[in-house]
A and B are shown apart, each in its own frame.
Chain A
Amino acid sequence: MPAPARKAPPARPPRPLPAALAALAVLVAFPALAAGCAAAPSPAAAPATAPPAIPEPPVLTQVADRSLPVEAYLLSGAQYRQLSTAEDVLVSRCMQDFGLPYERPPAPDAEPPGQTAHRYDPVDPRVAAVHGYHPADPHTGAKPAEPSISPDAAAVLGAGTAGGPGTPAAPRSYRGRPVPPGGCLGQAHARLTSHGGTGRDPDLVVGINFGGYQQSTTDPRVKDVFQKWSACMKARGFSYATPTDAAKDTRWKSAPEPTPEELATATADVACKTAVNVVGVWFTVESAYETQAIQQKLPELTRIKQDNDAMLATAASVAAANP
């Protein structure tokens, strides 16, 4: 495969720094912080809403076995896998029609984690003691190689829809046979989404997943538990304001393997999270923000759920016809 051609300068201007700062201001435009925030209000700023009421947070050390409210509307890893498997069947058949080779992906080797699996990591003392802040995911590092495919096969497959910078568009025909729009991938995608959905999570749901997380970190109850965590860490000789600061410490990133200092920090981090119930409070507050947002958009979210169900039903019918 040739190296990509250099891309011409885009029509869109670069994002100026003030815009980025304004976006940041939006993210923290929250009543509890507004008094201390000198930034001018942005037109995109969220309306002032009171922090949602929460029940007494349960004591939790991890939440991998729990779901966030938004996950009822997000496609799960397993559901994405169902869509992918059906897509592979359709693509394989389409490529065969063109007389082109297409090697289907190997069988999955690990369950894709949900939104809560590593959300507040590190949270497991055994993992922290061995991996520190390095991911313990089985797929860490290079992923298994994909088969290289010929330019002809790539073009018919639909590389024009996702070929990276400088890739020519898919041809309209191959050896006299018309190529479907977007190639075989495009055709399979169109089939799977023919009764609704886009094959991806809609922006509304993505916004709740990320917005709830982001806003939870500015919530007074989460900030309070972060302060307690910070004090606990200080007593153990580590100076961080929030768990995220510890995880993002640049010293961990430069080492391919965790250092003894990293392991000690991560171990203290997990112990302090447990000592002050960071995970229980954070998960409860974040869930409350999500629930509040979901209640405001219930009709749209119900339609999104219907679209997801329609895509999965189509995928199931494809799989049933091609055991």
Chain B
Amino acid sequence: MLVKKAAALLAAATIGGILIGTTPALASSGGCISGDACLYYSPNKGGAFFGKSETGNYDGAYFGGGGAGDGQAVINNAASVENLSTWWNLRVYYGPDLSGPNQYVPKGQWVNLGPVPWNGGSVDMRNNNHSQGWWI
């Protein structure tokens, strides 16, 4: 949370809103700001959340902000995702390093990561978010 708060303040103070000063690969939690993929622990944008603006894996990320799931790992543990970018479309990948199937989250929109219909029953895509990428 502190990392993201610092990033937010820095972004506000920087022309162009460039996010610098965040330290990758460090555990961080909570905080969703403009330009992020905002991942939520619960469906329908509920529970604790985590914001990530870069491309890459969710390793070392933790939900924060209070509510259900606070303090839990983000990787393979998100139930809904919101794209807070106004420019970039987001893809959330099942596998590490942008591998496996992926789900598009257009800019400004959000999706639940399942359950979705499969083979007469359903498949729950919660617990299968491993990495993310961005495309214009």
* Residue positions of A touching B, CB distance < 8 A: 1-4, 6-15, 20, 23-24, 26-27, 29, 44-47, 49, 75, 77, 80-81, 83-84, 105-110, 112-113, 115, 118-121, 133-135, 137, 139-143, 145-149, 154, 157-159, 161-165, 185, 189, 199-201, 203-204, 206-215, 244, 247-248, 250, 252-254, 256, 292-293, 296
Nearest residue, chain B, Cβ from A253: B59
Determine the residue in chain A with the shortest Cβ distance to B40.
A165
Q: Are B103 and A206 in contact (CB under 8 A)?
A: yes
Inter-chain contact A211/B119, CB cutoff 8 Å:
yes
Also in contact, A46 and B118, with CB within 8 A (given A3-B31, A14-B42, A143-B53): yes
Residues on A with beta carbons closer than 8 Å to the beta carbon of B16: 145, 147-148
Q: Are A7 and B49 in contact (CB under 8 A)?
A: yes
Q: Which residues of B contact A (CB under 8 A)?
A: 4-5, 8-9, 11-12, 15-19, 24-25, 31-36, 38, 41-49, 51, 53-57, 59-60, 65-69, 79, 82-89, 91, 94-111, 114-128, 130-131, 133-136
Please report the C-alpha to C-alpha distance between residue A164 and residue B115 in the assembled complex, in whole angstroms.
22
B125 to chain A, nearest CB (A): 5
B131 and A135 form a contact (CB under 8 A)? yes
Interface SS, B side: loop
Task: Tell me which residues across on chain A come within 8 A of B103, comparing CB atoms.
Answer: 201, 206, 209-210
Chain B residues with CB under 8 Å of A81's CB are 89, 135-136
**A-B pairs under 8 A by CB, number:** 286
Evaluate contact between A247 and B95: CB separation under 8 angstroms.
yes
With A14-B47, A109-B136 in contact, is A209–B101 under 8 Å at CB?
yes
Taking A3-B5, A162-B110, A164-B51 as given, write out 13 further A-B residue pairs in contact, using a Cβ cutoff of 8 Å, ordered by the A residue number: A4-B32, A6-B65, A14-B69, A29-B121, A44-B122, A47-B121, A118-B97, A121-B99, A145-B16, A159-B34, A200-B104, A206-B116, A214-B128
Distance (whole angstroms) from the CB of B4 to the closest CB of chain A: 7
Given contacts A121-B99, A201-B103, contact A158 B108 (CB under 8 A): yes
Chain B residue at smallest Cβ distance from A104: B87
Distance in Å: Cβ of A291 to nearest Cβ of chain B = 12
Cβ–Cβ contact B19 & A145, under 8 A:
yes
Among B25, B85, B98, the residue within 8 A (CB) of A146 is B85
A163 to B36, alpha carbons, bound, how many Å? 10
- With A115-B101, A139-B133 as contacts: A208 and B118 at CB distance below 8 Å: yes
* Cα A207 to Cα B55 with chains together (Å): 24
B44 to chain A, nearest CB (A): 8
- Is A133 a contact of B117 with CB atoms below 8 Å? no
Residues of A within 8 A of B19 (CB): 142, 145
Complex Cα spacing A210 to B111, Å: 15
A165 pairs with B38, CB closer than 8 A? yes
Nearest 10 Cβ contacts at the A-B interface: A211-B118, A207-B116, A148-B17, A14-B68, A46-B121, A164-B32, A10-B46, A211-B123, A112-B135, A105-B87
B residues in contact with A135, CB < 8 Å: 55-56, 97-98, 131, 133
Q: Out of A44, A213, A215, which one reaches B94, CB within 8 Å?
A: A213
A217 to chain B, nearest CB (A): 10
The listed residue with most A CB atoms (<10 A of its CB), out of B34, B35, B55, B84, is B34
Q: Do A210 and B125 form a contact, CB below 8 Å, given A1-B8, A146-B35, A162-B84?
A: yes
Question: Nearest CB to that of A83 among chain B residues?
Answer: B106
Question: Which of A139, A215, A244 gathers the greatest number of chain B CB atoms within 10 Å?
Answer: A139
**Are A44 and B65 in contact (CB-based, < 8 A)?**
no
